[in-house]
Amino acid sequence: MIPALVEHLIQAAYLLATGLFVLSLKWLSHPSTARRGVFAGVFGMGAAIVGTLLFPEIVDYTWILVAFVIGTIIGVPLSRVPLTAVPQRTALSHAFGGLAVGLVGTAKYILWLHQPGELTRFRVVAIVLEVLLGFLTFTGSLMAAGKLQEILPTRPITYRNQNLVSLLLLAIALIAGGLLVRDPTAWQFFPVIVVLSLLFGVMLVLPIGGADMPTVISLLNGYAGLAAVAMGFVLENKLLITAGALDGSSGVILSIIMCKAMNRSFTNVLFGAFGQVQTAAAAGEQGTYKGATPEDAALILESAAKVVIVPGYGMAVSQAQHRVREIYDLLTQKGVDVKFAIHPVAGRMPGHMNVLLAEADVPYDRLVEMDEINSDMPQVDVVLVIGANDVVNPAARSDQNSPIYGMPIIDADKAKACLAIKRSKNPGFAGIDNQLYFLDNTLMVFGDAKQVCQGIVGALKGEGGGMH
C-alpha cells in the first residue's frame, strides 16, 4: 500500500511540474508577467526533483548530492557572465544538456544489455535517437560556444565535398542505428553511433559563420529539446516528453523566425557555406564616403525631431550600450523622440540587442521591431546606425546579385538623413559592400562604437549650455 502511495505522489509531482512549466512559458509572453514565469519554472523543477528523489529504487543519495553541489558550483558563475557573453553561455548550456541526455542513453543501453528482455525494439529506436541527438548537440554546441567566445575561428571553415562528408557521417550513424535495432545485442554498433554523432556535431557547425549564429543556436536549442523527448520515450516518462517538446518547439519557432529574417532556408544556413559566396560579390565598384566627426553627429542629432537608433553586433563588441543609453537620455531631455529599431538577427542570438539595451536601462517600450518601424522611416529625421551593417544594406531590396538579396532590412536609407558608426572602412562581416554608406544623405563616423558614442555624449552635454 505504501509503495502505491509513493507512486501516486511521484506522478502527482510530475503532473504539477508539467503544469508549472506550461504556465512558466505562458507568463514569459510579456515583460510584466515574465518574472513570475521564472518562479513557476523553478517550482516546477523543484517538484520534479523532489518527486524523483522519492523513487524507492534510489538506494544511495551520495553521488546525487555530490553532483548537485558540482552543478551549483559551475552554474552560479555561469549565470553571472556579462550580457555580451550570453550567446556563448547559452551554447554552453545546450552542450551540457546534450551531454546529460547522451550519457543517460548510453548508461541505459549498457544496463539493459545485461538484462535480457529489457532491450525491446522500441526502446532501442528511442535510445539510438536519444544518443544521436544528445551527442551531436553536445559537440555542435561546444563548437558554437568556441566560435562565439572566439577561441575557434569565427569565419566559416570549409573544404571540398564538406556537405557530402557530413551527410555520409550521419548516414553511417543511422545505418549503425538500424543494425542495432535489428539486433539489440550487437553492442559493437553502439560506440560507432556515439563517435559518429560526436563527429557530426562538429562537422555541422564547422562551416557556420558568426552572422548565422542566431539560427544555429536556435536549432541546437531545438535539438536539445528533442533529445530530452527521446529520453522521455526511453524512460517512459511523460514529464520529460512534455518539457522536451516545449523546448523543442521553442527552438523550432526561433529558428524559423531567424531564417525568415534572413530570407534563407534551414538547408541553406546549414549547408550553404555563407562565407564562400560573398567574396566574389564584394568586388563591386567603390563609391565615396562622406565622413563626419562625433561633434557633427551630435549637432545633427539634436536638431532632429525624430531619431531612430539601429544597433548591431558592433555595439555589443565594443560594449557601447551604456553610452548609447546616455545619447538616448540626452536627446530625450532635449525633446527629441528617440526609438530603437531591432532587427531579428542583429547580434549573435535571438533577442540579443534587447537584452543589452535593457541592461543599459533603455525602457523596453522604446525598442521597436523591424516591421513596425519601417513604415515610419520616411518621417524619421536621422537614423543612427551603430555597428550594424547587413541589416541596413539596401542591396537586400534592390540588387538581385547580392548574396543577401531578399533579406528583410531596416530601411535606414529611407530616412531623411543617416549617420553610420563603423569600426573601419572594410566591408562588414559578410564581406558585402553596403550601398547605404555611399548615399548622399549618409554621413560616416569611423571609429570604435564606444569611443564615438562617448564623443557624441560629450558634444551633446557641451551644447546643452545651461544644463550644467
Partner 1 sequence: MNAVDLWSMLFVFMLATFLGFEVIRNVSRLLHTPLMSLTNAISAIAVVGSILLAGERHDPLTTVLGTIAVAASMTNIVSGFLITDRMLKMFKKKESPRTGRAEQKP
Residues 102-121 that bind partner 1 (CB under 8 A): 103-104, 106-108, 110-111, 120
Pair 98, 134: CB distance under 8 Å = yes
* Residue in 72, 288, 400, 424 binding partner 1, rule: CB under 8 A: 72
Give me the 218-237 binding string for partner 1, x by CB under 8 A, dash otherwise: x--x--xx-xxx-xxxxxxx
Q: What share of the chain is helix, strand, coil (3-state, %, to 5)?
A: 65, 5, 30
Query: Is 173 a binder of partner 1 (CB under 8 A)?
Result: no
Residues 6+ apart with CB under 8 A from 442: 290, 413, 417, 418, 419, 420, 436
Pair 252, 215: CB distance under 8 Å = no
Residues 328-367 that bind partner 1 (CB under 8 A): 342, 344, 349-352, 354-355, 358-359, 361, 363-365, 367
Query: Is 7 a binder of partner 1 (CB under 8 A)?
Result: no
Query: Is 86 a binder of partner 1 (CB under 8 A)?
Result: yes
* Residue in 37, 146, 184, 311 binding partner 1, rule: CB under 8 A: 37
The piece of 49-57, 163-171, 264-272, 404-412 that touches partner 1 (CB under 8 A) is 49-57
Query: Is 174 a binder of partner 1 (CB under 8 A)?
Result: no
β-pairing verdict for 417-422 and 382-386 = parallel
Residue among 308 and 452 whose Cβ is closer to partner 1: 308
Report the C-alpha gap between 326 and 455 in whole angstroms.
11
CA 264-266-268 angle, to 5 degrees, is 60
CB of 105 to partner 1, least distance (A): 9
Query: Is 321 a binder of partner 1 (CB under 8 A)?
Result: no
Cα within 13 Å of Cα(428), Cβ side = 26
Residues 393-432 that bind partner 1 (CB under 8 A): none
Query: Is 199 a binder of partner 1 (CB under 8 A)?
Result: no
Query: Is 468 a binder of partner 1 (CB under 8 A)?
Result: no
Query: Is 25 a binder of partner 1 (CB under 8 A)?
Result: yes
What are the residues facing 337 on neighbouring strands?
A: 306
Distance, C-alpha 111 to centroid of its chain: 36
CA 180-184-189 angle, to 5 degrees, is 40
CA 335-340-346 angle, to 5 degrees, is 160
Query: Is 38 a binder of partner 1 (CB under 8 A)?
Result: yes
CB of 390 to partner 1, least distance (A): 19
Residue among 169 and 243 whose Cβ is closer to partner 1: 243
* Residue in 70, 151, 280, 283 binding partner 1, rule: CB under 8 A: 70
CB of 15 to partner 1, least distance (A): 11
Nearest Cα to Cα of residue 349 among 257, 263, 264: 257
Q: Tell me the site size for partner 1, rule CB under 8 A.
A: 114
Residues 6+ apart with CB under 8 A from 122: 233
* Residue in 55, 283, 305, 406 binding partner 1, rule: CB under 8 A: 55
- Show which residues are catalytic: 390
Query: Is 1 a binder of partner 1 (CB under 8 A)?
Result: no
Residues 6+ apart with CB under 8 A from 159: none
Query: Is 390 a binder of partner 1 (CB under 8 A)?
Result: no
Give me the 235-274 binding string for partner 1, x by CB under 8 A, dash otherwise: xxxxxxxxxxxxxxxxxxxx--x-----------------
Residue among 238 and 416 whose Cβ is closer to partner 1: 238
| Residue appearing with cell numbers 562528408 | 165
Residue among 83 and 172 whose Cβ is closer to partner 1: 83
* Residue in 3, 4, 63, 466 binding partner 1, rule: CB under 8 A: 63
SS in 3 state form for 169-209?
HHHHHHHHHHHHHHCCCCCCHHHHHHHHHHHHHHHHHCCCC
Query: Is 96 a binder of partner 1 (CB under 8 A)?
Result: yes
